[in-house]
Amino acid sequence: MSLAAVRGGLAISGLYDLEPIRLNYLNVKLGLDVAESRRNSPLLHLPQTAAPLVVAYGTAELPELCRQSVDYARTWLERGLPGRLLPVEGADHFTILESLAAPGGALAQALLQMVAA
């Protein structure tokens, strides 16, 4: 699939840097080592070119999840890649998709703008 065929992407409430997980109690179950953390962290593997990306997060998320979204969007944009950060007011990891399902929701509107471009 060519880049021209991709209109854009929605990154919703993502984990973009796995190092904080590797350093906390969650890693007891995951067993990430340094190499795996780096290899699987999208923040460390941005493309040279890309279609527009909307990085969305709920403002009621845990602070670390908010920080990761803000950092990822900032790094994406600093690399000259097209996109934007979209905080979804009052949403959290469990409710944010409601804004994609609702016709007037922030994510639904972002998606419509992306495919209309």
Count of domains for the chain: 1
Q: Range of 99's domain?
A: 3-116
Question: How far is it, in rounded angstroms, from Cα 93 to Cα 29?
Answer: 21
Under the banding of pLDDT at 50, 70 and 90, the label for residue 3 is low
Give me the chain's average pLDDT, please: 94
Q: Is the pLDDT of residue 4 over 70?
A: no
Q: What is the pLDDT of residue 6?
A: 82
CATH number at residue 9: 3.40.50.1820
- Here the tokens at position 11 are 């990154």
Banded model confidence at residue 2, pLDDT cuts 50, 70, 90: low
Sign of CA dihedral 36, 87, 73, 53: positive
According to the model, what pLDDT value does residue 116 have? 87
User: Quick one: average pLDDT of 47-59?
Assistant: 96
Stated pTM of the model? 0.91
